[in-house]
Every structure is written in C-alpha cells, then in structure tokens.
Structure 1
C-alpha cells in the first residue's frame, strides 16, 4: 500500500483514466450508469476533456506506480446535487485502503467545492459495496431509480453529510 497514490486527473492522465474506466465497465458491467460499449466509443479528445478536473466534475485515480488501479469521481448534477460516481478498485487491490482513499478524496473535493452532502446510487444486491459505503458514513435513503445502462436494475440512493 505504501506506493499507492490517489490524485485528481489532469488532461495528460486521459490514457490512464480511459484504461481504468474501461476495465471497471468490463469488470462490473451492471454496477455503472454507463456501458462499456458507450465508453469505448469515446474519442481520445473526449477522454482528454473528461480528465480535466473542474468543480463540476473531478475524476480521481489511484495509482500503484504508474498503473491505474482505482477510480472514483465527484460530479455535480443539474439539480445541484453532488454525486460520487464511477467507484471502482482493481480486483487485486480490494480489501486494502484504496477504496477508502478514493471515497475520502471525493468527500474532500465535494466539501472544498461547497457541498455539505454527497449522494451515490448502489444496487442493494451489491452487498459488499453497500456495506463499504455504510462504513464510510453513507446512509440509505428511501429513493430508488432504474440504472441508466441496465433499466431492469433498481438502485437505491445513499447520502453522506459532512460533519458540521
């Protein structure tokens, strides 16, 4: 774990962002609102633009040396809600502190951008993820919606509130 670095992406990180995102979508195709096919269709310019961090959207990558091993993002929706999305850690690194580091980075980013609340969507069948988020201080809300990439899957909203 001592060589793991977590940081926001910059335009030059686009190949690593693309690699991590496509790996995540192949690894857990029903866990994300996007599909592998849609993401694989993005141009290099699209990935470069996505890798640029803004208050509206910041991707964080976890690196082991120069290898991207984890991903998470903070995105502000049209309604002003701040979301934790695209959370994924390479299978070999699960159970270590990588996922917690990614969530902490997204929380800090949200708070730094003036958001006292962070929300995410999780499929309750994804018990490991749901339990992990609960350990990170997220609580389930009585709000459900269909997963955009797989409308037959219902996901439940969770929220985290920054300490006052």
Structure 2
C-alpha cells in the first residue's frame, strides 16, 4: 500500500476496481480490515485485538463471500485501499457495514463508489432498503451517506465494542 498512499496524484489518475472478496483474498482482506481498525477503532463493532486474533481459516471464511458479512474491496494499483460489507440481519434488514477508505485515498470518490456498489447489490438481491449505523458525530461519514440518499431514523444504540459511543440508524430506499 505504500506506493499508493505515498503518491496521491497517482491514485487520482489510477482506475479503482471495486470487487467482492474471494477466499484467496483472505490476506488482502485481513490487511485492509486491520488497517481500518487501527485507523478508526471507534467506527466498527469489532476490536482490533479480536480481529488480529482470527485464524487463517476465519479470514478465509470472511473473504469467501459464502458467509455473512460479505465484503467488497477497493483496489488501486493492485493494492486494497478500502472495504465495505453487507449482511442481512436477523430482522431481515439489508445492512451496510465496515465502510472504510485509507486516509491517503479519501476525497477521491472511492467511498462513494463503495456505497454505490452496496446499493446496487441490495437491488440485485431484491432489497429495496439498506440500513447502517453511524455516530452522528462522524460528520464526514454522515455527509457521505446523506449524499447517497441515506436519512437518519430515530433509532439509537451503543456501539457493541465501544459502549460510550452511540450510533444512530440511517436508511436508504431504492427509488427514494
């Protein structure tokens, strides 16, 4: 990732590939996910220590797309610079989770492309609604989600691994 993040101008002119992870991508997913947890530890419902302790088999399962959540990765110059996930909750809601882009690649439209990919996947899977949970204080993330049609709902809860942080539910509706 060093070649990409040290040369922002090259990232700006390089194509970005957004694709689902596959089992063989387990090391890539592990690297980008751990980087996300180090960079933004309060934005995820999982701690770095927990994720770092996953076995190779657990990472392979996470990357395989055969279990939930499923992950998409953003690739620039052959390196993963972002990720996003989706999962169907017990209440049958289609959830956007684990959204992250490397700090040196922010502002280049990668986050928007990741969100668009999840919205497209939702529609392809017959879902008319996508929900997510975000801290209202995370103004950059809230702004991104609002630009992509998400609206706040009056539902709040404490973040699973950070009980001092409250997140609020947002939703996007297809055609809305």
Shorter chain as denominator, the TM-score bin is over 0.9
User: Which residue is equivalent to 1:49?
Assistant: 61
Distance 1:111 1:87 in 2: 19
User: Which residue is equivalent to 2:71?
Assistant: 59
- Cα shift at 1:70: 0.3
Structure 2 length-normalised TM: 0.89
Quick check: 1:63–1:70 contact (8 Å CA) kept in 2? Answer: yes
Quick check: 2:130–2:172 contact (8 Å CA) kept in 1? Answer: yes
Structure 1 unaligned blocks of 5 or more: none
- Cα shift at 1:102: 0.5
Quick check: 1:34–1:148 contact (8 Å CA) kept in 2? Answer: yes
Structure 2 unaligned blocks of 5 or more: 1-11
The structure with the larger Rg is: 2
User: Which residue is equivalent to 2:38?
Assistant: 26
User: Which residue is equivalent to 2:89?
Assistant: 77
Q: Greater helix percent: which structure?
A: 2
- Cα shift at 1:58: 2.0
Distance 2:107 2:90 in 1: 34
Distance 1:16 1:146 in 2: 30
User: Which residue is equivalent to 1:123?
Assistant: 135
Distance 1:118 1:98 in 2: 19
Distance 1:82 1:150 in 2: 23
Give runs of aligned pairs for residues 131-142 of structure 1, distance below 5 A.
Answer: 131-142=143-154
- Cα shift at 1:55: 8.1
2:40 is the counterpart of 1:40: no
Structure 1 length-normalised TM: 0.96
Alpha-carbon spacing, 1:12–1:20, altered in 2? closer, same or farther (3 Å) = same
User: Which residue is equivalent to 1:10?
Assistant: 22
